[in-house]
Structure 1
Amino acid sequence: MRVDDCAPGAECQLDFGYLGLLDDPASGKRRKVHALVITAVYSRHTFVWLTHSQTLDAVITGCQAAWEFFDGVFAVIIPDNMKPSVAQADAVNPRLSRGWLDYAAHARFVTDTARVRTPQDKPRVERTIQYVQKNFWAGETFTDLDHAQQAARTWCAHTAGMRVHGTTATQPAVVFAAEEHRHLLPVPQQPYDVPVFKQVKVHKDFHACVGKALYSLPETWIGTTVDVRADSETVKFYHRGELIKQHPRQGAGGRSTDPADYPADLGAYATRNITAQLQQCERYGPHIGLYAARIVDDPRPWSRMRAVYALIGLVSTYGAAPVDAACQSALALDVIAVTKIRSMLERGTETTSPALPRAAGHAPTRFTRDPSEFAAAAAALTLIPGTKEN
């Protein structure tokens, strides 16, 4: 049964058609060329976008070029069940891909997919593909894809658009300009940045890998699989549709870490924040803070941080007060070794006054004399008459 056409600007139909082979200067090979054909249902005005692939990126790029050509967006798009836009085909409730849904929300159109193996659901574009193959492509010679695309745009505007259509007996471009153009939705002002959608797992190091770069997430999500939307500017993480984290996009090998994602006791370590570790030691006690500062007084302070962590561990084991007393005793002798602090705490000698070390050979020998023998009393000086005091 013949169904009436829609209202002006309400619908357009979209489908891919194979054209042939064309030289690709980038690869030096002949590659397949596909035509993404978009036909307005009411006016039959047509736009053709040529591409070597049928990916989501190619479909969206073709749609963007079509909206610029038509100077507007159709309210309803009727595509074939192509994989970039339809994840699971169904006559009643098809499941669209996340990338296509994201782009549809950006351009503000609705998708009404055709049924599987039912070309009569999109007859306007089906007939147009045959017209493109025979009238535009057949017998023509193009140097590369860019040359062919420029020719296709001119052909759409002046040949296909100005012909007298066999069914409507009108010129599609004229009808479109007079009756349909004013009913289209406005073209989005911001260009669409084609994103990448995937699922990733948050690892034990608090990071997930997206595009060979690492991004941190809070401890809550460790071991969880989350959804990712990554474009050229941002990387967004979702769990059941709820945004849980956002990072600026990093290049391959890059890393974006938010210190707030780490637990309080691990953040300073993970970010190599030596100042924060020293401040923590100062909070335990003034001598502990001074001792830690002496430990990292090195041209390579990070290499000495294990000793600082060992000192903090002693505070957890013995308490802050005994460790502070042991550090005070060790600082008095200028002994900077955490093992000595541990030994003092194990023996309970952290509060004992330090004794100065005795020199080697301190035991008395045969000719050793008591120091008192060298003490001489001050003799009274008698001034001889006739002499001067020197």
Structure 2
Amino acid sequence: MRRAKEILRLKHALELTNRQIAASLKMSHVTVGTYLKLAESSGISWPLPEGVTENHLMELLRNSGDSPETARRPLPEMEWVYQEMKRKHVTLHLLWEEYRKEHREGYGYTRFCGYYKAFKSRQEVSLRQEYKAGERMFVDWAGDTVTLWDGKTGESRQVSLFIAVLGASNYTFARAFENRQQASWIQAHILAWEFFGGVARLTIPDNEKTGVTTAGRYEMDMHRTYEELAEHYGTVVIPARPREPRDKAKVESAVLNAERRILAVLRDQKFFSLGELNAAIERALSELNERPFQKMPGNRKLLFEQVERSTLSPLPVTRYEVATWTKAKVNIDYHIQVDWHLYSVPYHLVNEPVEVRLTSRTVEIIHNGTRVTMHQRSYLRGKATTDPMHRPKSHTEHLNWSPERLIEWAGNAIGINGRQVTSKILGSLPHPELGYRSCLGLIRLVRKYGADRTEQACVRAIRLDACSYRSVNSILKTGMDSQALEPHAAMSIAVHDNIRGADYYRTDEIERTGTHAE
């Protein structure tokens, strides 16, 4: 993934080192350095001029000379080599061979060994880590959960405890959440920053998977949302390195303290709501932060007030609104489907893949890294939000699709009743294009059920005044097309498991399952 803009932001806006940027973006520090050198040689500074896209920036960098991938011989990732050498049966020669497979232009074995020896010598003496004030916030879920009880049924459920601790003062934040899913993880960070009254430069989760235990429909890319959150608050996420105890010591110590000083204190109490539990956690947390240090004067709260509060970056003016991402393909009706609702896209993007950023209020549609449109989010199922500017100027521009062509095609593929159902679908909508995918789905039923059965299903749909792809498909699935229609009794027959009247079908002509039109 191209990350040139983010590299420049992290370097110049947040003043991170190349290695910190590399850890945050999960790329080689050599590549980071190369991007920065190319930017410098091209005269590119930060902030970038308004309107400069990722693609435009990459073009400027390419024109400056060698690409980041070929500008210099790649150095071995010695941190990885150092850790791998601790594993059984692994040799330095094996790691060099793997390095050369990935980088054919890389260093020879002798130079490789020299780099490793120098790196290893620097690792032999492990110094106690001291963190600068305002530099780091460590975050994690506590290993133990808390029980909530239902006062009516007596049933119980487990909730999770989120912990955040500042590196210099050990000032701690804790709060319980219903689950460890992405929305809770993001909300926990927001509340932690608001509790501290500011933001540390770096945010260190226990590892890159922390906070996600299940993947829902719109949790396809947790890291993208997490990075977006970090950018909004002006911090950088750098996961603790796997199998590196020193990276995890701070947060693990905070989790242990929280379990001992919060969960253990509350162990004999019964809680019947999350609000009640968090009120008790808040009281116990206050005692923890004001508890005197054992080996030095003061306490967490006092140290925070004296040395760390003033070093935190200010909170942004607006709170981050949790966003989720998904992918879609623009259908021939120049709409995409999100949560059973259709949103228009400029018609020239028909059949193009797009990314969709969702908040509770907006739907942003991105194509090749550029936002092409944004709609107010609607929760009306089976409806459409259409920008008139997105409509094609003529049917020729719209890939030669037209209502007349679809009606004719349905008549040829299905029969006279298929033609009539198609006409009713298109005629019932404010814009015929919104019915294209439903009509295509209707025609494609012939592949599965044959023209005769599909035609008979259309006869029944017309009699039921339920002319939609969904009702015809349901008739075929249940075999109702083979049953004789009783005069004046048809309206009492349900065409699918959920009984709905004719008004439902007249207002629900937009096909909800977009795969039929792809």
- The TM-score with structure 1 as length reference comes to 0.62
Gaps of 5+ in 1: 88-94, 270-301, 306-390
Partner of 2:313: 185
Query: Conserved in 1, the CA contact under 8 Å of 2:146 and 2:161?
Result: no
Q: Secondary structure at the match of 1:132?
A: helix
Trace 1:1-390 onto structure 2 (pairs within 5 A): 1-23=126-148, 25=150, 29-83=155-209, 97-138=223-264, 139-141=267-269, 142-157=271-286, 159-166=287-294, 168-253=296-381, 254-266=383-395
Residue 85 of structure 1 contacts residue 100 of structure 1 at CA under 8 Å; is this kept in 2? no
Report the secondary structure of 2:144's partner residue.
strand
Structure 2 unaligned spans of 5+: 1-125, 214-220, 399-426, 431-518
How has the CA–CA distance of structure 1 residues 24 and 262 changed in structure 2, closer, same or farther, with 3 Å as cutoff? Answer: farther
Counterpart of 2:132 in structure 1: which amino acid? A
Residues in 2 aligned to 1:135 and 1:241: alpha-carbon distance in whole angstroms = 47
Q: CA 1:36/1:43 → structure 2, altered by over 3 Å: closer, same or farther?
A: same
After superposition, what is the alpha-carbon deviation per residue over 1:253-309, rounded to whole angstroms, capped at 9, x for unaligned? 142101221211259x9xxxxxxxxxxxxxxxxxxxxxxxxxxxxxxxx79x9xxxx
Aligned length: 263
- Measured after TM superposition, the shift of residue 25 of structure 1 is 4.1
Task: Provide, for residues 180-230 of structure 1, a one-character-per-residue CA deviation record: whole Å limited to 9, x for no partner.
Answer: 101111122212211121111111111101122110112222112211101
Paired amino acid for 2:171: H
Indicate how the Cα distance of structure 1 residues 77 and 27 shifts in structure 2: closer, same or farther if over 3 A, else same.
Answer: farther
- 77-86 or 191-200, which deviates more: 77-86
Deviates further, 23-32 or 193-202:
23-32
- 1:211/1:252 contact within 8 Å kept: no
The residue that corresponds to 1:295 in the other structure is none
Decide which structure has greater helix share: 2
Deviations along 1:306-348, one digit per CA (max 9) or x if unpaired, are xxxxxxxxxxxxxxxxxxxxxxxxxxxxxxxxxxxxxxxxxxx
- Relative to its length, the structure with more strand (as a share) is 1
Does the 8 A contact of 2:240 with 2:248 survive in 1? yes
Report if the CA contact (8 A) 1:195-1:229 is conserved. yes
Q: Which amino acid aligns with 1:265?
A: S
- State the alpha-carbon separation in 1 of the partners of residues 295 and 357 from structure 2: 44
- Once the two structures are superposed, what CA deviation does each residue of 1:57-97 show, in whole Å capped at 9, x if it has no partner? 1112111211221111111111122536799xxxxxxx971
In 2 relative to 1, CA 134–84 (structure 1 residues): closer, same or farther, beyond 3 Å? closer
Q: What is the distance in 2 between the residues matched to 1:222 and 1:167? A: 67
Residue type of the alignment partner of 2:177: T
Most deviating of 30-39 and 16-25: 16-25
Q: Deviations over 1:102-126 (max 9, x none)?
A: 1111111111111124342121110
Question: d(CA) in 2 for partners of 1:176 and 1:231?
Answer: 34
1:25-78 Cα shifts (integer Å, max 9, x gaps): 499642222111101110011000211211221112111211221111111111
Report the 3-state secondary structure (helix = DSSP H, G, I; strand = E; otherwise coil) of the residue aligned with 2:258. helix
TM-score (norm 2): 0.47
Percent identity between the two aligned chains: 26
Quick one: distance in 1 between partners of 2:152 and 2:205?
A: 31
**Structure 1: distance between partners of 2:210 and 2:353:** 23
SS in 2 for 1:161: helix
Taking the aligned partners of 1:151 and 1:256, their CA distance within structure 2 comes to 46
Contact 2:164 2:192 in 1 (8 A): yes
Does structure 1 conserve the Cα–Cα contact (< 8 Å) formed by 2:325 and 2:355? yes
Higher mean C-alpha deviation, range 17-26 or range 251-260: 17-26
Q: Check conservation: 2:207, 2:242, Cα contact below 8 A.
A: yes
Q: Distance in 2 between matches of 1:191 and 1:129?
A: 27
Alpha-carbon offset, residue 177 of structure 1: 0.7
Aligned to 2:302, what secondary structure does the other structure show? Answer: helix
Q: Distance in 2 between matches of 1:14 and 1:263?
A: 50
- Deviation of 1:100 after TM superposition, in Å, equals 0.4
After superposition, the Cα gap between the structure-2 partners of 1:130 and 1:183, relative to the gap in structure 1 and judged at 3 Å, is same
CA shift in 2, pair 1:213/1:112, >3 Å: same
Report deviation, 1:168.
Answer: 4.8
Task: Go from structure 1 to structure 2 and tell me whether the alpha carbon gap of 1:149 and 1:256 turns closer, same or farther (over 3 Å shift).
Answer: same
Alpha-carbon distance between aligned partners in 1 of 2:193 and 2:150, rounded to the nearest angstrom: 28
The change in CA–CA distance for 1:208 and 1:105 in structure 2 (over 3 A counts) is: same
- State which drifts further: 161-170 or 208-217: 161-170
Query: Is the 8 Å Cα contact of residues 324 and 357 (structure 2) preserved in structure 1?
Result: yes
